[in-house]
Amino acid sequence: MVFSPKGGISKELARLIKAAKTDILVAAYAFSSKYLGQALSAALKRGIKIRVLLDGDNARKSYSIDEWLVGEGIAVRFIEIKRGSLHHKFMLIDGKILITGSYNFTNESEFRNHEAAIFTNHKGLIQSFATEFERLWSQCTPTESPVQPPIDAEAAGSS
The Cα–Cα gap between 21 and 92 comes to: 12
Catalytic residue at 94? yes
- Concerning whether 87 is annotated as a catalytic residue, the answer is yes
pLDDT at position 149 is 40
Predicted confidence at residue 147, as pLDDT, reads: 39
DSSP secondary-structure letter at 18? H
Give the pLDDT of residue 80. 84
- Point out the catalytic residue in the list 94, 114, 122, 123: 94
Active-site annotation holder among 89, 96, 122, 152: 89
Low-confidence residues in the chain, pLDDT < 50: 145-159
2-138: CATH, from 3.40.50.2300, 3.30.870.10, 3.20.20.60, 3.40.50.300:
3.30.870.10
Is 11 part of the annotated catalytic residue set? no
pLDDT at 64: 82
Cα dihedral: 33, 35, 39, 45 (round 10)? 90
Contact 9, 40 (CB under 8 A): no
pLDDT of 144 reads: 53
**Domain spans of the chain, in order of start:** 2-138
Q: Catalytic residue, from 55, 61, 87, 88: name it.
A: 87
pLDDT at 114: 95
Q: What pLDDT was estimated at residue 151?
A: 40
